Amino acid sequence: MNSSSEWAPRLRPGDSPGVLDIHDVSVRFGGLTALDSVSFAAAPRQVTGVIGPNGAGKTTLLNVLCGFVRPNTGKLTFGDTDLTGIRPHQLAALGIARTLQNVGLFARLTVLENVMAGATCHARAGFWPALAGLGRSDRDERTLRQRALAVLDRVGVADAADSLPGQLPFAHRKRVALARALVAQPRLLLLDEPAGGLTETELPELGQLIGNLAVEASVVVIEHRMDLMMSVCDMIAVLDFGKLIAWGTPQQVQADPAVTDAYLGAERSREREEPEPPADGLPGAGGDPPGPGGGSPGAAL
Ligand SMILES: Nc1ncnc2c1ncn2[C@@H]1O[C@H](COP(=O)(O)OP(=O)(O)OP(=O)(O)O)[C@@H](O)[C@H]1O
Ligand SMILES: [Mg+2]
């Protein structure tokens, strides 16, 4: 593995991936303030958590970091790179990868092909030209395939390489989405609810994987599963109605009455406002950007 130059690590041992600095970021959607002067910094090679009740602005923050949403005010930097005006297509070249809250895999590509698509910035010939039979380099494609298989193995779904995503349980699709992010060897990894669909017994394994990833990259993770967040995060930012209401170690935020109030308040207003759920209804989709490829070569799952 990593024998050819296109897979050379982006960082030499000892290099720092850089601090992710979020400074005074505000986002407004019409009359709604989704983020309100949010500031915190994610240290290199640490796991930084972002928690908060539904609608707190967590996914919006990731969308800002990825250039899907423009902040109305504020500045974002990653090391020496200004991310404030970044475009989504620049992410891979900057070493930034993300998983979506709603998975977002290509439905008509196999699991392996989905993961290979995440590595296009590394391969000389590239995955899409290779898929179309253009400028194809057998060696590049072989290397890409081996790399994708190794990452699938790392997240525990290598045996599903030839399946279509729709054939897999949701929790396994989440793992494939993580593999697609990892295959690009990111310096900054942004994970939106990676534990969605996982059972309690699967959480410790995911926690271990996320902890291991922080050896190579800075990790920012959004998650509602508090047991996972308390065990895996070095620092946690707590958002509520777009405001940063707490910042500290897991123990500090857990003991912060403002955090308890925010979750209890959300719980109470849900109880007050929630109509009877439809018999076969699904929860809302959240603030994910569009899935990959806009429907070609397959709608996002
Ligand atoms: N593109 C958009 N246009 C208008 N409003 C939006 C848009 N994206 C998000 N919002 C609103 O901004 C607020 C924050 O949404 P966001 O998806 O960031 O919350 P979240 O913390 O990720 O919630 P959840 O835990 O449910 O995923 C919500 O009120 C949401 O409805
Ligand atoms: Mg969200």
pLDDT bucket at 288, cuts 50 / 70 / 90: low
Angstrom distance (rounded) from CA 124 to CA 157: 26
Q: Average the pLDDT over 115-126 and give the result.
A: 65
Q: Is any atom of ligand 1 closer than 6 Å to the C-beta of 170?
A: no
SS3 176: helix
SS3 192: strand
The bound ligand whose nearest atom lies closest to the alpha carbon of 30 is 1
Q: Average the pLDDT over 223-246 and give the result.
A: 95
Asked which of 32-36, 153-157, 190-194, 286-290 is least confident by mean pLDDT, the reply is 286-290
Sign of CA dihedral 296, 129, 187, 211: positive
Task: Give the number of the atom of ligand 1 that is nearest the alpha carbon of residue 61.
Answer: 18
Angstrom distance (rounded) from CA 67 to CA 167: 32
Q: Is any atom of ligand 1 closer than 6 Å to the C-beta of 287?
A: yes
Q: Average the pLDDT over 237-252 and give the result.
A: 96
pLDDT, mean over the chain: 82
pLDDT digits (tens, 9 = 90+) for 75-100: 999 998 999 988 888 888 889 999 88
How is residue 113 written in tokens?
Answer: 């092909």
Top mean pLDDT of 5-14, 33-42, 168-177, 206-215 is at: 33-42
Find, among 216, 193, 171, 260, the residue nearest to 49 by Cα. Answer: 193
Counting residues of the chain whose pLDDT is more than 70, the rounded percentage is 79
Task: Give the number of the atom of ligand 1 that is nearest the alpha carbon of residue 56.
Answer: 21
Predicted local distance difference test score (pLDDT) of residue 171 = 86
Angstrom distance (rounded) from CA 245 to CA 37: 11
pLDDT at 256 over 90: yes
Predicted local distance difference test score (pLDDT) of residue 135 = 53
Q: Average the pLDDT over 13-26 and give the result.
A: 81
The bound ligand whose nearest atom lies closest to the alpha carbon of 266 is 1
Predicted local distance difference test score (pLDDT) of residue 280 = 45
Q: Is any atom of ligand 1 closer than 6 Å to the C-beta of 289?
A: no
Q: How far is the CA of 5 from the centre of ligand 2 (A)?
A: 37
Task: List b or e across 251-266, with b for residues whose CB sees 16 or more CB atoms inside 10 angstroms.
Answer: eebeebeebeebeeeb
Counting residues of the chain whose pLDDT is more than 90, the rounded percentage is 55
Predicted local distance difference test score (pLDDT) of residue 230 = 94
Predicted local distance difference test score (pLDDT) of residue 222 = 96
Q: Average the pLDDT over 19-39 and give the result.
A: 96
pLDDT at 137 over 70: no
Q: Is any atom of ligand 1 closer than 6 Å to the C-beta of 59?
A: yes
Top mean pLDDT of 46-50, 105-109, 289-293 is at: 46-50
Q: Average the pLDDT over 195-216 and give the result.
A: 89
Q: Whose CA is nearest to atom 7 of ligand 1?
A: 287
Predicted local distance difference test score (pLDDT) of residue 263 = 84
Q: Is any atom of ligand 1 closer than 6 Å to the C-beta of 196?
A: no
Q: Whose CA is nearest to atom 16 of ligand 1?
A: 57
Q: Is any atom of ligand 1 closer than 6 Å to the C-beta of 57?
A: yes
Find, among 52, 92, 71, 81, the residue nearest to 192 by Cα. Answer: 52
Predicted local distance difference test score (pLDDT) of residue 228 = 94
Q: Is any atom of ligand 1 closer than 6 Å to the C-beta of 63?
A: no
Angstrom distance (rounded) from CA 167 to CA 80: 42
Q: ∠ CA(62), CA(70), CA(10), 5° rounding? A: 50
Q: How far is the CA of 188 from the centre of ligand 2 (A)?
A: 19
Q: How far is the CA of 239 from the centre of ligand 1 (A)?
A: 12
Q: Specify burial of residue 146 (Cβ count, 10 A radius: 0-12, 13-18, 19+).
A: middle
Task: Report yes or no: 198 and 173 within 8 Å, Cβ to Cβ.
Answer: no
Best residue among 35, 58, 60 to mutate for probing ligand 1's pocket (most ligand atoms within 8 Å of CB) is: 60
